[in-house]
Amino acid sequence: MLMPRNRAGARPRALPRRAAQAFASALLAAATVTALSHSAAAADTLGSAAAGKGRYFGTAVAASHLGESAYAATLDREFSAVTPENEMKWDATEPTRNTFSFGAADQIVSHAQSKGMKIRGHTLVWHSQLPSWVSGLSATDLRTAMNNHITQVMQHYKGKIYAWDVVNEAYQDGSSGARRSSPFQDKLGNGFIEEAFRTARTADPDAKLCYNDYNTDGVNAKSNAVYNMVKDFKSRGVPIDCVGFQSHFNSASPVPSDYQANLQRFADLGVDVQITELDIEGSGSAQATSYSNVVKACLAVTRCTGMTVWGITDKYSWRSSGTPLLFDSNYAPKPAYDAVLAALGGSSSGGGDDGGGGDNGGGTGATCTVSFTKTADWNDGYNGQVTVKAGSAPITGWTTTVTFPAGQKVSTLWNGSASWDGSGTVMTVRPTYNGNLAAGASTSFGFTVQKNGNSAVPTVGTCTAS
Ligand code: XIL
């Protein structure tokens, strides 16, 4: 919805230049003020808000996108943990027997380490993304190859990985509670999981060792089977430290109502639980509510140590068409982002709750008002400005909406950060640098709009202050 789209078009020459100048000077002002106000009140991010609750907030990362500045900037600003999305899988790390290739995964690990992020290792033993040479082995050879793979990969990253998904997706969907057919299951039998965990403990004794799966997010036959396995491991001293709940949701597979209860029953077995691959298809407030419920469930379970979303931006999601992530394709935070931040007790413009309370409400008497002015107008476009004014008390943040007439498209926004509703007509704007206002003081954000044949003016919604 923002800058990259709709920039072309037949506007008169002088006006776009003026808009561009306004944008450039606004950026300059933004940079100056940010520098001045940074130490006074930094906005919370997913990572900082989660840290306030003693949790990490991670994302899956693809090495191939690290060179994209908006991708890296969003990663570095918002997240405190990473999981390589594909780079640590068997086909990437040992494509040929005993020939290991760590280049892409190393890139992610060194990036994460340089930013002080936790790293989840994903994954050592999985039926998928498994090179074909593995499935051709005899049982004896496969056992050697599995243990060698675990040992080599874990030793390469020894001391750097917070938690490893040692075994991924070993159970069938549905009501059987049975194991899934795989080269490991079929040739090594039920004992392969235990063997993998024992090998893993020896390879890197400091990494937490997790079992990870999907469709185990509520109480059901599949999660019962995993539960029984973990219980058995704990009773026999088989090394297991955590269970990962992938949490890939959509309308056919929504967040289960017993999500928290399910996390809790696993935690009660004496393992940590983690939300490992969270994404929820949908948009707007429905998506936001589901995300918020997941975050609240984790926070309510003491041993839920953190949560990871399966990607940063909808643009690169493995199920992109379902727009399941917290940032849209232009890296604008979506309503789901706001909901997650609020559920984590974070403040969207700093200064507020540091994680103690969970209340994201405003300070006493924090109010604001908004007003709209058209600052430039030409054939097929206009510039708008919304002034945000604090009431009789100082404020540390504000949110307001701007609803656009049918067909109009915003091509540029300055001095604010936008997210959009599903229909692309309601823009919710939050501050970038300009959230802190003294009593009675004001700030403004602005935007350039393409009319697309509709000259009506937008309407501003209520201003909410914190
Ligand atoms: C997915 C990746 O996101 C895709 O890029 C890849 O093509 C397939 O795998 N469960 C898992 C993850 O444990 O590794 C999967 O990741 C998604 C489902």
- Catalytic: 277? yes
CA–CA dist 464, 462 (Å, integer): 6
Cβ proximity of 125 and 150 under 8 Å: yes
Q: Which of 61, 85, 215, 312 most suits a substitution to test ligand 1, by most atoms within 8 Å of the C-beta?
A: 85
Q: Which pLDDT does position 349 carry in this prediction?
A: 57
**Structure token digits, residue 338:** 């706001």
Q: Which of 65, 83, 86, 278 most suits a substitution to test ligand 1, by most atoms within 8 Å of the C-beta?
A: 86
- Give the amino acid at 329: S
Range of weakest confidence among 149-158, 395-404, 412-421:
412-421
Burial class of residue 237, CB neighbours in 10 A (0-12, 13-18, 19+): exposed
Tell me which residue of 210, 208, 95, 220 sits closest to 145, measured CA to CA. Answer: 95
Per-residue pLDDT tens digits for 346-369: 987 533 333 333 333 345 688 888
Rounded average pLDDT over 63-84: 98
More confident residue, 349 or 207: 207
Residue closest by Cα to atom 13 of ligand 1: 168
Dihedral (Cα; 139, 143, 149, 154), 10-degree rounding: 160
Name the pLDDT band for 14 (thresholds 50, 70, 90): very low
Q: Which pLDDT does position 382 carry in this prediction?
A: 85
Per-residue pLDDT tens digits for 297-349: 999 999 999 999 999 999 999 999 999 999 999 999 999 999 999 999 998 75
**Structure token digits, residue 419:** 């997210």
Ligand 1 atom nearest to CA at 60? 3
- Give the amino acid at 297: A
**What mean pLDDT is reported for the chain?**
88
Neighbours of 257 (CB within 10 A): 10
Reported pTM: 0.71
Residue closest by Cα to atom 7 of ligand 1: 318
Name the pLDDT band for 42 (thresholds 50, 70, 90): low
DSSP-assigned letter for residue 176: S
Residue 25 has pLDDT above 80, yes or no: no
Residue 247 φ then ψ, to 5°: 65, 55
Range of weakest confidence among 19-28, 318-327, 369-378:
19-28
